Amino acid sequence: MNKPLTIAMPKGRIYEEAAELMREAGYHLEVDAEESRKLILEFPEQNIQVMMAKPMDVVTYVEYGAADIGIAGKDVLLEQDRDVYEVLDLKISPCYVAVAGLPNQPLSRVAPKIATKYPKIASDYFREQGEQIEIIPLNGSIELAPIIGLTDRIVDIVSTGRTLKENGLVEYEKITDITSRLIVNPVSYRLKGREIDEMVTGLSKAVGGED
């Protein structure tokens, strides 16, 4: 048998949605992800190996060829600009990137501070707007920054909008819509093209809701 097709999958909620889509495409990758602490899951009957990775790291594993395929948020792809093929919009985990802050607070005239874990997306956006800003990079709980007066705005993911609301923040502008994408290592695409195309076709039908 050929070497298994290796897929880097994000841990947590996206895994559940992605595994469901895979099942519809004929690949049974169900695990009790919450229960298991295993980082490499083997599915020998399907000749597939799954690597459980942090969402931000999936693209790294695929770029370096440690995984042939990955499932990554468009937010991560926009932020990291890596050498991988983006082959399919899986349309799962929809959310968007937005600019938010305390209500009724005009942006400071001089170098407003923006907290974010997406420095590139934020810089690109404000550059297009002709604003000179200062990025304050944070790794999570970004909403804290304007509440405590550290920054004027945040650039962050909005899903249900609950986090903003419960912290008394409002959305100022939407930057871009986000969904999860199927990505492929370019060398793997050459070496395992048939298996990968088969998976892409199956997933594409599952996304489109076809039989």
Chain residues in the site for ligand PRP (CB under 6 A): 140-143, 156-163
Nearer to ligand PRP, 161 or 202 (CB): 161
- Classify residue 190 by burial, with Cβ atoms within 10 Å: 0-12, 13-18, 19+: exposed
Smallest gap from residue 35 Cβ to ligand PRP (A) = 21
Neighbours of 10 (CB within 10 A): 23
The H-or-E segment that residue 75 falls in is helix 74-80
Residue nearest to ligand PRP (CB): 140
Nearer to ligand PRP, 103 or 140 (CB): 140
**Per-position b or e across 48-87, b if 16+ CB within 10 A of its CB:** bbbbbbebbebbbbbbeeebbbbbbbbbbbbbbeeebbeb
Nearer to ligand PRP, 68 or 156 (CB): 156
Asked if 179 and 94 count as a contact pair (C-beta separation under 8 A), the reply is: yes
Specify the amino acid at residue 25: A
Smallest gap from residue 69 Cβ to ligand PRP (A) = 23
Smallest gap from residue 158 Cβ to ligand PRP (A) = 5
Smallest gap from residue 55 Cβ to ligand PRP (A) = 8
Nearer to ligand PRP, 159 or 201 (CB): 159
